[in-house]
Structure 1
């Protein structure tokens, strides 16, 4: 049997309810990200239950944010089909929407708890990339978020295992595994961020590095994809958001270096 046929996006069914690999993989990404962040948060002086309390709000709001973002940039369709807006099980979420909602949730949560937003986000930065790296494999299972057409030889020259090559074989055409490119880029970012903890950067700079690193990779990888959301014409939404994130990160880095006195560093309590 062709391996492509064996990779069913539905993991199992509970009566009429289909449990998809996409959801399972996203959940695994959240659990792994939580596990990595929790250990570092306790080391950095946060209460044991702090992250759990945050995620109770953060996870559902991130999903809502991801859906709202997608609907906004697909409004031509959803304005004509409003009943489909809540049908998230048919697909249609965007990571930038999830990130924006997550950052806002974290900001207001830290304000309420009287803790540092920048300290929290520095700790969470590697875990955000972990969750994103794992989550992209949900796209792999759905055969989505891929790039343009390539040859099988091209994929073989990347030294990819056959099961990835075959999953990128969709209706007789091979495609760029852009999900994999972004996943690998994010994993490299995780390694760099963990190493940067020892450098003891100023508070907030780990998070700003995360924003810059992810956005640079996303900008170039987005240009290869065939399922982008568009602002106008051929202007891809994710590329515009990535450029804005890079610019804001650089401006904040310079501004905070010049103005934040005394300088609090990552390893400071």
Structure 2
């Protein structure tokens, strides 16, 4: 690259000037749109993988009708629970806890809530949860990657100051409460790091699943390991604060990553050893012929 070309390269990444557009009285929020696009992408990829595993086309969308609302509720409850002073502290308005379009969805709560919603539907329909989770796992990571674009429009979840050429410009009004930085300070775009990590994780999980024919929940465990491995180090760069910000010298998100990675890795190893020689996928993703019963013409 010539010196002239280097001179025209941007030395920082500007943040969007707005994250909401209005079509008459209807607001279009970038954060919400990113979540919706992520859900659609997850359903598309999950449906393809579910059918390849012997499932019925369209069932992933049916499960999503339960899992997505449960995931959103879980994500918001987790966020409010771990940072409740933002909504219930002195001078705060508790009704703000319902305004999810302004950001504030905890991924750990989203996974837990979404899993419970999916489990409830699968149990009713006779669908085995583990093969379904294995089919959906890469799609979840894809949805998380797309959702991170919404953080860019909200100017949130960025990292500490940096002089790297891809440093992110953040409006002072969106700096952490009580923080002060020099004019022109740029920050690590940690949500963008996570986006790239998640996309790489999707490719890795799909490739390993095709090669090793993982099953019995091991693809989902691999998803948890991949995500938490990246989230753990990305958390060390972030400067946004929550009430559980420092637990024994580490951010709460780092501890969550360590605990969940360890649990997923243990599951992956134990199940692999228990089914050594027969590690392949389940022969049917349904329980006791439930697919035939639930999809028979009425």
Say whether the fold is shared (TM-score over 0.5). Answer: yes
Aligned to 1:162: none
1:244 Cα deviation from its structure 2 partner:
1.3
SS in 2 for 1:27: helix
The structure-2 alpha-carbon separation of the partners of 1:197 and 1:255, relative to structure 1 and needing over 3 Å to count, comes to closer
Q: Are the counterparts in 2 of residues 230 and 237 from structure 1 also a CA contact under 8 Å?
A: no
C-alpha RMSD of matched pairs (Å): 2.3
Q: Structure 1: where are the runs of 5+ without partners?
A: 157-164
Q: Structure 2: where are the runs of 5+ without partners?
A: 1-12, 173-183, 285-298
Q: Taking structure 2 as the reference length, what is the TM-score of the superposition?
A: 0.78
Q: Taking structure 1 as the reference length, what is the TM-score of the superposition?
A: 0.86
Aligned to 2:238: 225
SS in 2 for 1:19: strand
Q: Deviations over 1:98-152 (max 9, x none)?
A: 111111222222222222211011111110110011111111122211100012x
List aligned pairs for 1:202-217, cutoff 5 A: 202-217=215-230
Q: Deviations over 1:209-246 (max 9, x none)?
A: 11011001001101111114342645422212111111
Aligned to 1:28: 37
1:83 Cα deviation from its structure 2 partner:
2.5
1:136 maps to 2:151: no
Q: Which has the higher contact order (CA 8 A, sep 6+)?
A: 2
Distance 1:196 1:21 in 2: 33
The structure-2 alpha-carbon separation of the partners of 1:253 and 1:230, relative to structure 1 and needing over 3 Å to count, comes to farther
Task: Between 75-84 and 196-205, report the one with greater CA deviation.
Answer: 75-84
1:168 maps to 2:181: no
Aligned to 2:18: 8
Greater Rg over alpha carbons, structure? 2
Aligned to 1:161: none
How many residues align? The count is 255
List aligned pairs for 1:152-163, cutoff 5 A: 154-156=164-166
More helix as a share of residues? 1
